[in-house]
Amino acid sequence: MAGTSSTTPELLQEGAGLLKQELLLGTEALQAAQQLRALLRERTPGQAMPEALGQLERVLGQLTQLSRRLDDFLARTGAARLTAFFTAQPPSQLRTGALALLARATSQQRALRRELAGAQALLAQGKAFADFHVNIMNQTVASDTYTKPGGESPELLRGRKMFDANV
């Protein structure tokens, strides 16, 4: 790895600082994602949802900026990842602490991915629920829903809709 063998203590400090900032923002993003998922699960109406989304978007924007700074740092040091940078450093307390923080950051990222996947699943479920009710409001013909395409059904012959009062 070019550039990592002759690193200065300042670069080591900078790398550790970026890692700490990533952990702080990751914790904030995880909390925002958990709040959003809870609101989606409870189907909370009103102002709470836009506020939760705004909070998550703000934190994810900050994480994007931090990611750019991390990419610049890694380009300057010649390391492919922070793990490679810190493992290439001579043993020190800062290196040991940074490697421990890297493990926490990895588990935090996994937890954030799980929360966001759960929120996406809840959104998909909500969309399917809304689509179902839009079909009801549009008076979907019963045969489109309950019979094979092209097959004739008594409902189609009678001209009744799926949710007519006499069905």
pLDDT band of 132, cuts 50, 70, 90: confident
Domain boundaries along the sequence of the chain: 9-119
The predicted model gives 4-29 an average pLDDT of: 85
Helix, strand or coil for residue 79?
coil
pLDDT (0 to 100) of residue 3: 42
Give the DSSP per-residue string, 12-39.
HHHHHHHHHHHHHHHHHHHHHHHHHHHH
